[in-house]
């Protein structure tokens, strides 16, 4: 869109981020430098061990690259949080552009958290304290989980 004639007000409006209406609409801005998306990201990443990951796409990709092959529950949940966050922020962007529907950052963060929680409930967790801590953090009781074969 940037190479199109930017002389008209319509083209300038289309290039503006539909979430914050401040900066240029781009991948790096949307994930998660935009004020709106950054607020969503801060709320959801607080439930996983990604405090060192900043609100920049490069920081998130670097974390993903370092943890791509880890099979720990924490790492898997972190990757799900990143995927759900990018999906729902993109969906919110498109909803604002094409349907004029808007959700607050708190509502969108809750949608992401609830989606990840439902996914986690399908996991098989053991009885170790570290895994119980994960369940507690996500407000999941053991009785709602898939039965552990062990």
For the segment 12-30, what is each residue's pLDDT rounded down to a tens digit? Answer: 455 789 999 888 888 889 8
All residues at 6 or more sequence positions from 18 whose CB lies less than 8 Å from its CB, including other chains: 25, 93, 96, 97
What's the rounded Cα separation, in Å, for the pair 68 and 51? 17
What's the rounded Cα separation, in Å, for the pair 131 and 137? 10
**Mean of the pLDDT values across residues 70-97?**
93
For the stretch 85-90, contacts whose Cβ atoms lie closer than 8 Å and that sit 24 or more positions apart, written own/partner, are 85/31, 85/32, 85/40, 85/41, 85/44, 85/45, 85/112, 86/31, 88/40, 88/112, 88/115, 89/19, 89/30, 89/31, 89/32, 89/37, 89/40, 90/30
All residues at 6 or more sequence positions from 97 whose CB lies less than 8 Å from its CB, including other chains: 18
**Mean of the pLDDT values across residues 54-59?**
90
**Mean of the pLDDT values across residues 104-121?**
96
In this prediction, residue 13 carries a pLDDT of 54
User: pTM score, two decimals?
Assistant: 0.82
Q: Is the pLDDT of residue 6 over 80?
A: no
Helix axes 105-120, 35-45, angle to 10 degrees: 30
Q: What are phi and psi of 16, to 5 degrees?
A: -80, 145
**Mean of the pLDDT values across residues 48-55?**
87
Per-residue pLDDT of 62-81, as tens digits, reads 999 999 899 888 999 999 99
């Amino acid at each position: 869109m940037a190479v199109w004639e930017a002389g008209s007000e319509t083209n300038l409006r289309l290039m503006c981020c539909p979430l914050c209406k401040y900066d240029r609409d781009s991948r790096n801005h949307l994930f998660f430098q935009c004020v709106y998306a950054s607020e969503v990201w801060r709320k959801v990443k607080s439930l996983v061990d990604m405090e060192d990951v900043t609100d920049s796409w490069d920081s998130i990709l670097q974390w993903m690259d370092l943890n791509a092959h880890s099979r720990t529950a924490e790492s898997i949940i972190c990757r799900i949080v990143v995927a759900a966050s990018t999906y729902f922020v993109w969906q919110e962007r498109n909803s604002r552009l094409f349907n004029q529907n808007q959700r607050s950052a708190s509502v969108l963060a809750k949608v992401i958290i609830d989606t990840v929680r439902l996914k986690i409930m399908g996991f098989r967790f053991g009885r170790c304290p570290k895994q119980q801590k994960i369940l507690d953090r996500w407000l999941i009781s053991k009785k709602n989980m898939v039965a552990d074969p062990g």
